Amino acid sequence: MIRILVVAAALALSGCASAGALPALSISPDEAVYRLGSGDQLKITVYGEENLSGNYPVNGEGNISFPLIDELKVAGLSISEFEKVLTEALSQGILNDPNISVEVTNYRPYYILGEVGKPGEFSYVDGLTIFSAVARAGGFTYRAAQKRVYIRHKSEKDEKLYRVDGGTPVQPGDTIRIPERAF
């Protein structure tokens, strides 16, 4: 009888240990730089050229249509990289020494499903974490596994299981799934 209790306790503890062994989602400095993608809305200001300044959406192919240039590939570029590309394109006989500023006015959304109050699509805000994403989705349900989360980044094929902590970041385009806890 004692042997059975010892085996049962060991199995229970090994289940707890494996849950704690999940990796935390961490972002490298290179990943922390925001990369433009389809669904983003950009505000481009060309100083001294009001006709060229305005809001430009990034289309499904990752391009923007810009006056006098036609289409520019922006998907995968950082904001500063895109500013350089646009400056070079406008310098090709269109403008002398263009001064450009680019900012993201609308990020592509993220998605949350599973054990939350209101699953769905939500607008991304800079610095978003799993806890704030869950709060925007109505909080955890009573069945939610609050220490584990599955995340599939837009650029990845498969979702990965991570440990949830206060700093678990969310990226635009992520699909987050909150699993059901084991009772």
Query: How much is the pTM?
Result: 0.69
What domains lie within the chain, and their CATH numbers? 41-106 (3.30.1950.10), 108-183 (3.10.560.10)
Is the per-residue pLDDT at 10 higher than 50?
A: no
DSSP string, 115-136: SBSS-EEE---TT-BHHHHHHH
What tokens does 9 get?
A: 């306790």
What tokens does 112 get?
A: 């949350």
| Mean of pLDDT over the chain | 84
* pLDDT per position as a tens digit, 114-164: 999 999 999 998 889 999 999 999 999 999 999 999 999 887 889 999 888
* pLDDT per position as a tens digit, 150-178: 999 887 889 999 888 878 889 899 999 99
When pLDDT is cut at 50, 70 and 90, the band that residue 8 belongs to is: very low
